[in-house]
Structure 1
Amino acid sequence: MQSQEKHQESTVVLILVMFTSFITPFIGSAINLALPMIAHEFGLNAITMSWVTMAFLLSSAVFLVPLGKLADIFGRKRVFLTGNVVLALASLLAVFVPNGATLIALRVVQGIGSAMMFATGIALITSVFPPNARGRAIGMNVTAVYVGLSAAPVLGGLMIDALGWRSLFYIPALLGIPAVIAAILTIKGEWAEAKGEKFDILGSGIFIVSMCALMYGFSKLPSTVAIVLTAVGLLGLALFVKLQMKLEYPVFNVSLFRVNRLFALSNLAALINYATTFAITFVLSLYLQYIKGLSAREAGLLLVIQPLVMAVIASWSGRLSDKHDPRILASAGMGVIAVGLALLIPISKETAVTYIGVVLGILGLGFGMFSSPNTNAIMGSVEKRYIGLASGTVATMRLVGQMLSMGIATMVIHVFIGTGTINASNHKQFILSASVTFAIFVALSVLGVWASLARGGKNGNQA
């Protein structure tokens, strides 16, 4: 009987985590299609327009580590449900924003709510599923992420064309609270393996300020102020690491990276993977609408190819990683990504839409092969008491990688077209910036293949 109750609880946990894993990427991806419309309504230039996406990523990335630790101390379910409420309320307010600044501010709040869910989702799944079923559950959750990414271009494009860009926030605003009520009624357990430990407020503050300085500065390169901010961010993170190594209860156990090779290199591979992939949708969305003249709905129908393939492959590769070495699967995925990115370098105004579709399919195959096995390798490489930390680290690598990806794309666009709006007079420069961005991503992908292979096999976590 008890075993049946545990099975029911684990099933409910998986469904709820999958639900939030669908909503968050849906909003993050669909907003890219709405950027030209938002920029037109609020008079935003190309750089400010990118911050509608980056504000969400930045706040998610900087709060993930502290929130992951708080979840370990006070309960993962509690933090997870609070995140759902914060995201729902911020989304409701975003429907009525009067200007670009307010929208960006609410995107920051949405990011904090999402960080609460990112930091706890995988940890909750790992807590309730045994090791022999964990890869399958993680694979299903990754599939939910990719289904959200798949729905975003189609459903998001249709909603934008029919109801305007504000309609994108209807879904999290209307469905977030019912999900919380369902969770309270059905999930009786709570998981807080670090209960009673002290929370490192100073370290958390240094981490948040340093990450903000680094990410904001990086996105504004190559200006002098940006160089200074980037340097300050890096120095702050070095100080953070030094402090964490001395504490009995650090907010982030950096020693794991030093003694656990599998954990360290799997996280590096994840960081590089997201740094090479996230901005592809951003760049291609602008390319398809500004250069090829497609509507948001038409661009969305094409961009859906990539996450659709990802959704199909991720579940299969997750199950496969329960039986075979995740390193080989993930490394092969990174190699496929590098090939797909290389095929995007020569795009021009004359490039056929069919060609873009085929390349997006190749990229989707690579992403699907990489994500589930790599996440399974990370979560399986740590002791139970570090599951919350590992979950937060996975999510941090994803969001920092996505932020770096957007930072690279924005920096290259800034170099080629400055702070002006994208228009007919600078289309040639924009296309060139896209090609340079994809070339940088290819180089990073090759580095990612090395990181994925260098970690060793399933016993790679031995010091």
Structure 2
Amino acid sequence: MERTFKPWPALWALVTGFFMILVDSTIVSIANPAILEDLQTDITAVLWVTSAYLLAYAVPLLITGRLGDRFGPKRVYLVGLVVFTSASLWCGFSGDIGMLIAARAVQGLGAAMMTPQTMAVITRIFPPNQRGAAMGLWGSVAGVAMLVGPLLGGVLVDTLGWEWIFFVNVPVGIVAFVAAWRLVPNLETHAHRFDWLGVALSGIGMFLVVFGIQEGESYDWGTIAGPITVWGIIVTGLVVLVGFVVWQALNRAEPLLPLGLFRDRNFSLSNVAISLVGFSITAMPLPLAFFYQIARGLDPTQAALMLMPMAVISGAMAPFIGRLSDKVDPKWVAFAGFTIVAIALSWTSLWLEPDTELWMLLLPNALLGVGITGVFAPLGSSATRNLPRSQAGAGSGVYNMTRQVGSVLGSAAITALLNARLAAELPGFSGGFGGEAAGSGGSGGLPPQLVEGFSAAMSQSLWLPVIGFAVGALVVLFFAKPKVTVAWGAGGSAPAAADADAPAEAVRPE
């Protein structure tokens, strides 16, 4: 006998775990100086703690979305949650940088199993006339999590140590597992074949590009070993990725990347825009965290509190923006969001100087929260609005993959840019900051003669996410006007008037 369920509690159960895995995309940024000092490493190595997570998160998303279609989003989500929570323990107990990077990669794999399932469930249990509000919740969780990460990280690093940014996931993971087990329905499954060649090509290509970009400055963008050069690695990675796309077009069985989904203009543009969001939001906290802690001498908690207005305002406004996206053309909501964020970050960059009063930097940070709120919900609802039910997992996998690919490239690009600007502003300055700059937990202690150059390097690096959000504003202007779509919700959701005979999504017995 089928058991009735309520869509909203099911969604809340899923976004609990979703919040946790997205917090881990940015929580390390504020802890980087402390990890750098405690594990006796350098800036490039410590930034691989974030890049390894993002890379392992991004590459499998296409196939984990299909796994949700094949075995049910609830089952795949729960398995991923167990992997993620277990890897969090491993991260906390890591005694050297190599072990921490490896544990973060496993953690990213668990996150990759979970993320597509949250969006697929929204697409499958909410009718289109409620999907904007549901995506508003999903989007607000995504936005707030990525902004709260540095704040939570600062408090934990200061009070308990950097290890606790990972240990805290264990109780949250347990609560999320129980909630999802009880509240999320078993939805109808769809048979799929898995494109293992596509998985290999996409994984190898992404790794080569990210490794080349992130490690390029370490080798002066020249030779790594023998005939192997940085640019050779990057070009090889791009060629492999082109081969991946060609294979997807030629694969007549069932490609990993369903190129047919991109015939819908809004799906295609939403993917471009969300990749720019992932790129920019990942790049944004690093210059700020290093500026506040290294140049201004704040401890991790104080540095994190400088980001608090953004997180509070974004969280408060998100539900209203989600409902607004159901009533007006989401293109204009997204355009306003991207534009406001670009303005706020430009404002911040211009004021990122050693003698700027810290309270003044809270003003553009608050404006940043207003803008971020208008980005996630309209993009999510536009991307999924016309997805057929059999492709819900694949479509959400593509969408989340492009966001994570953007995050991976953002992490690699900001690492390269930070190193380049430090080398230009402070010739001979160690990329690892050394003991004198690390201070206590990485905060303060920078010699006065280096503060101005260091601040300039951080300010210049912040223009990278500014450009990303500005380009995103242009992309969303090309969105098509939303269509009246078919409702195929579940759990008793009424179908839209445009398709009153559309069947509800099947809910399997528990």
What's the TM-score, normalizing by structure 1?
0.92
Structure 1 residue 420 and structure 2 residue 431: aligned? yes
1:358 is aligned to 363
Structure 1 residue 410 and structure 2 residue 444: aligned? no
Q: CA deviation at 1:284?
A: 0.5
Moved more, 152-161 or 245-254: 152-161
2:197 is aligned to 202
What residue identity is the alignment partner of 1:207? Answer: S
Moved more, 77-86 or 445-454: 445-454
> Contact conserved, 1:203 with 1:244, CA < 8 A, in 2?
yes
Q: CA deviation at 1:146?
A: 3.9
What residue identity is the alignment partner of 1:411? Answer: A
Q: CA deviation at 1:361?
A: 1.2
2:459 to 431, 435, 438: 435
> Contact conserved, 2:41 with 2:97, CA < 8 A, in 1?
yes
2:388 is aligned to 383
Q: Distance in 1 between matches of 2:47 and 2:299?
A: 19
Task: Point out where structure 2 has 5 or more consecutive residues left out of the alignment.
Answer: 223-228, 424-429, 438-445, 486-510
1:130 to 127, 130, 134: 127
Structure 1 residue 348 and structure 2 residue 365: aligned? no
Q: Distance in 2 between matches of 1:234 and 1:86?
A: 30
Q: Distance in 2 between matches of 1:149 and 1:281?
A: 10
Q: Distance in 1 between matches of 2:465 and 2:141?
A: 25
Structure 1 residue 318 and structure 2 residue 322: aligned? yes
2:12 is aligned to 15
Alignment of 1:202-241 (within 5 A): 202-221=197-216, 223-224=221-222, 225-241=229-245
What residue identity is the alignment partner of 2:377? Answer: S
Q: Distance in 1 between matches of 2:147 and 2:312?
A: 5
1:274 is aligned to 278
Structure 1 residue 116 and structure 2 residue 113: aligned? yes
CA deviation digits over 1:419-459, x for unaligned, max 9?
62233365444323322222233333332111110122214
> Contact conserved, 1:136 with 1:315, CA < 8 A, in 2?
yes
> Contact conserved, 1:261 with 1:460, CA < 8 A, in 2?
no
SS at 2:169 equivalent:
helix
> Is the alpha carbon distance of 1:460 and 1:281 closer, same or farther for their aligned partners in structure 2, counting shifts above 3 Å?
farther
> Contact conserved, 1:267 with 1:378, CA < 8 A, in 2?
yes
Structure 1 residue 65 and structure 2 residue 62: aligned? yes
> Is the alpha carbon distance of 1:124 and 1:441 closer, same or farther for their aligned partners in structure 2, counting shifts above 3 Å?
same
CA deviation digits over 1:106-152, x for unaligned, max 9?
01111111111112111112211111111111211222334434543
1:291 is aligned to 295
Structure 1 residue 454 and structure 2 residue 465: aligned? no
Q: Distance in 2 between matches of 1:444 and 1:159?
A: 30
> Contact conserved, 2:62 with 2:401, CA < 8 A, in 1?
yes
What residue identity is the alignment partner of 1:448? Answer: G
Q: Distance in 2 between matches of 1:229 and 1:307?
A: 38
> Contact conserved, 1:150 with 1:305, CA < 8 A, in 2?
no
Q: Percent identity?
A: 29
> Contact conserved, 2:283 with 2:465, CA < 8 A, in 1?
no
Query: How many residue pairs get matched?
Result: 455
Q: CA deviation at 1:339?
A: 0.7
What residue identity is the alignment partner of 1:296? Answer: P
> Is the alpha carbon distance of 1:212 and 1:146 closer, same or farther for their aligned partners in structure 2, counting shifts above 3 Å?
same
2:427 is aligned to none
Structure 1 vs Structure 2 CA RMSD:
2.1
Structure having the higher helix fraction is 1
1:164 is aligned to 161
Q: Distance in 1 between matches of 2:100 and 2:271?
A: 32
SS at 2:255 equivalent:
coil
Task: Point out where structure 1 has 5 or more consecutive residues left out of the alignment.
Answer: none
Alignment of 1:27-46 (within 5 A): 27-46=24-43
What residue identity is the alignment partner of 1:212? Answer: F
What's the TM-score, normalizing by structure 2?
0.84
What residue identity is the alignment partner of 2:201? Answer: I
Q: Distance in 2 between matches of 1:443 and 1:144?
A: 24
> Contact conserved, 1:306 with 1:364, CA < 8 A, in 2?
yes
SS at 2:216 equivalent:
coil
What residue identity is the alignment partner of 1:218? Answer: I
1:84 to 61, 76, 81: 81
What residue identity is the alignment partner of 1:420? Answer: G
Q: CA deviation at 1:99?
A: 0.7
Structure 1 residue 374 and structure 2 residue 379: aligned? yes
Moved more, 91-100 or 64-73: 64-73
CA deviation digits over 1:309-362, x for unaligned, max 9?
222222211111111111111011111111112112322111221222111111
> Contact conserved, 1:22 with 1:146, CA < 8 A, in 2?
no
> Is the alpha carbon distance of 1:287 and 1:460 closer, same or farther for their aligned partners in structure 2, counting shifts above 3 Å?
farther
> Contact conserved, 1:59 with 1:112, CA < 8 A, in 2?
yes
